[in-house]
């Protein structure tokens, strides 16, 4: 049995599309591609070669002219050079505006595939088949696409909503436990900004989520993970359905991301995205507390939930100037003003624009007091 979450057309700027959550969903793909598509390019990382080829073969069996591109793994694929190679493939295969791309992979793959689709002939269809928790609840939904440059993450990109998203939970059976833990950071984020029930579910099932056993996970863990995915997708669907191009409401989805992206850049993308965002959320919580907006118990709850999952809540204290410079280049900045999302309370996000430098430094001091992690082994496993 599958669940469909519809993302509305963002004030008629785009067509509505469905996010389908369930198991064994490949049969749903032609319906999301729609009528008129003849050629399909399946984009997948090298680590998912077998899965990508299976999708290509299935499309071919259903009458499509199907091609495949194998990409570098993780953030290494999000470069102008890789995008240019994909454009070359599309050109040589005579892809027209009525053809489509299918992404099979994690968040980096959906970002790249969406960007290639947005820029080829000024926009062709893309359907995402996310294979990680992070991609299911964040990158695949909402239409943000992008590639990285030496100056920062996702500084080159476009808003290009997909024609549909297939969240096939079977792919999570083989997901590494630390990839699942990293993805939980984005789930927790949606809990803090919009749905406290998410936080309650995580708090009640921490052990099963932290010690993820894939296909051997207990039924209760599978049930709660499925509910967490659906709730997180519904939060994002509601937000991007009202504000596709991040003119206001959608900015709340950046909670924890301003510092998080700066950490990723400083670490040359050797940190997983979720680990960096976890630290970024604690920093944002401290900003809210020091600014007189957020109670101590909510800040403590950030640290408790994230640490219980095995996510980092601190960062090294000798990188502040580097991080500050990176944040000033962040795409969320306006002119010389840094912008952050902070909380007045759980479910009550607000924007903080141009905070006093002493406030920023004080908040950073609060997250750089302790060792980099509270859990042995987490540094290696999360790419810290």
pLDDT of residue 335: 54
Q: Where are the domains of the chain?
A: 3-174, 178-381
Compute the residue count for the chain.
Answer: 384
CB 18 within 8 A of CB 5: yes
Q: What is the mean pLDDT of residues 284-297?
A: 95
Active-site residue flag, 374: no
Q: What is the mean pLDDT of residues 336-354?
A: 91
Set 210, 261, 289, 302: catalytic member:
261
Active-site residue flag, 250: yes
Residue 49 has pLDDT above 70, yes or no: yes
- Summarize pLDDT for 25-39 with one digit per residue, the tens: 999 999 999 989 999
Active-site residue flag, 236: yes
Query: 21 versus 369: which is more confidently predicted?
Result: 21
Active-site residue flag, 203: no
Set 39, 44, 128, 144: catalytic member:
144
The matching CATH number, chosen from 1.10.10.10, 3.40.1310.30, 3.40.50.9100, 3.40.50.1970, for 3-174 is 3.40.50.1970
Active-site residue flag, 257: yes
- Summarize pLDDT for 227-278 with one digit per residue, the tens: 999 999 999 999 888 766 666 677 899 999 999 999 999 998 889 999 999 9
Residue with tokens 């953030």: 75
Spatial distance between the Cα atoms of 76 and 72, rounded to a whole number of angstroms: 6
pTM over 0.85: yes
* Two structure tokens written together for 380: 């290696």
Active-site residue flag, 144: yes
Active-site residue flag, 273: yes
Spatial distance between the Cα atoms of 257 and 327, rounded to a whole number of angstroms: 10
344 three-state secondary structure: strand
- Summarize pLDDT for 123-148 with one digit per residue, the tens: 999 999 999 999 999 989 988 899 99
Could you tell me the CATH superfamily of domain 178-381? Answer: Dehydroquinate synthase-like - alpha domain (1.20.1090.10)
Spatial distance between the Cα atoms of 27 and 31, rounded to a whole number of angstroms: 8
pLDDT of residue 334: 54
């Amino acid at each position: 049995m599958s669940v469909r979450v519809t993302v509305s057309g963002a004030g008629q700027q785009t067509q509505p599309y469905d996010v389908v959550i369930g198991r064994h969903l490949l049969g749903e793909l032609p319906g999301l591609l729609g009528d008129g598509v003849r050629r399909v390019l399946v984009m997948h990382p090298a680590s998912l070669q077998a899965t990508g080829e299976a999708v290509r073969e299935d499309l071919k069996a259903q009458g499509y002219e199907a091609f495949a591109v194998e990409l570098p793994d993780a953030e290494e694929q999000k470069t102008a050079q890789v995008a240019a190679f994909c454009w070359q493939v599309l050109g040589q295969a005579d892809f027209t505006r009525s053809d489509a791309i299918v992404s099979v992979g994690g968040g980096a793959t959906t970002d790249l595939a969406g960007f290639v689709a947005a820029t080829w002939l000024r926009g062709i269809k893309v359907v995402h088949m996310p294979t990680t928790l992070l991609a299911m609840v964040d990158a695949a939904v909402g239409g943000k696409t992008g590639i990285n440059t030496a100056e920062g993450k996702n500084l080159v990109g476009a808003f290009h909503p997909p024609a549909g998203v297939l969240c096939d939970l079977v792919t999570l059976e083989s997901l590494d436990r630390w990839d699942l833990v990293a993805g939980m950071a984005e789930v927790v984020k949606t809990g803090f900004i919009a749905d406290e029930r998410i936080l309650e579910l995580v708090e009640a099932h921490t052990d099963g989520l932290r010690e993820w056993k894939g296909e051997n996970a207990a039924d209760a863990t599978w049930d709660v993970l499925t509910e967490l995915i659906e709730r997180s997708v519904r939060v994002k669907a509601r937000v991007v359905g009202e504000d596709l191009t991040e003119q206001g409401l959608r900015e709340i989805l950046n909670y924890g991301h301003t510092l998080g992206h700066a950490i990723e850049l400083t670490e040359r993308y050797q940190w997983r995205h979720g680990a960096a965002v976890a630290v970024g959320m604690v920093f944002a919580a401290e900003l809210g507390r020091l600014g007189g907006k957020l109670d101590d118990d909510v800040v403590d709850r950030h640290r408790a939930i994230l640490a219980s999952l095995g996510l980092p809540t601190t960062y090294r204290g000798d990188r502040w100037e580097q991080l500050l410079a990176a944040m000033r280049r962040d795409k969320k900045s306006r002119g010389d003003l840094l912008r952050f999302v902070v909380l007045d309370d759980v479910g009550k996000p607000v924007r903080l624009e141009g905070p006093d430098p002493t406030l920023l430094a004080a908040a950073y001091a609060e997250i750089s007091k302790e060792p980099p992690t509270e859990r042995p082994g987490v540094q290696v496993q999360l790419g810290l």
